[in-house]
Amino acid sequence: MADTLQFDLVSPERRLASVTAREVQIPASDGDMTALPDHAPTITTLRPGLLRVVHGGGSDEYVVSGGFAEIGATAVTVLAEQALPRAEVTQALLDAMLADARARGGAADATAKAVADITALGEQVGLTART
């Protein structure tokens, strides 16, 4: 059994990470999940949240707004709609994410879930969601 897996995080703007990881914590649409080496093959959609990668040098955190994760026994690939290192997330960005979620419209419960996810994300990174 391998004790690491390849992790790649890509957004439309850039490749954010390509590292050998011990685990990847993913904000999946149906709940948080952790991918470890020898994980069963899985594809999941992402919700707005904090993605955490644990590797030999410590850990890195990224804010993702949505997208997909493909998990396998030896690799995890995340294709994010939008992704930034946690340190680059500002109050203005959080406010813009909330405004975008509210402006999309659609089903009221889907909008409420998106707003709740973004609000929780703000709390995780130490920001306050403004109404």
- For 58-83, the pLDDT digits (tens) are 999 999 999 999 999 999 999 999 99
Task: Indicate the residue type of 3.
Answer: D
Q: The domain 5-85 belongs to what CATH superfamily?
A: F0F1 ATP synthase delta/epsilon subunit, N-terminal (2.60.15.10)
* Boundaries of every domain in the chain: 5-85, 89-124
The SS3 call for residue 31 is strand
> Which residues touch 32 (CB under 8 Å, ≥6 apart)?
25, 26, 49
83-86 own/partner pairs: CB under 8 Å, 24+ apart: 83/9, 83/10, 83/11, 83/16, 83/51, 84/16, 85/16, 85/60, 85/61, 86/50, 86/61, 86/62, 86/125
At residue 131 the predicted structure's pLDDT band, cuts being 50, 70 and 90, is low
Contact between 46 and 66 (Cβ < 8 Å): yes
Mean pLDDT, all residues of the chain: 92
Residue 49 predicted with pLDDT over 70: yes
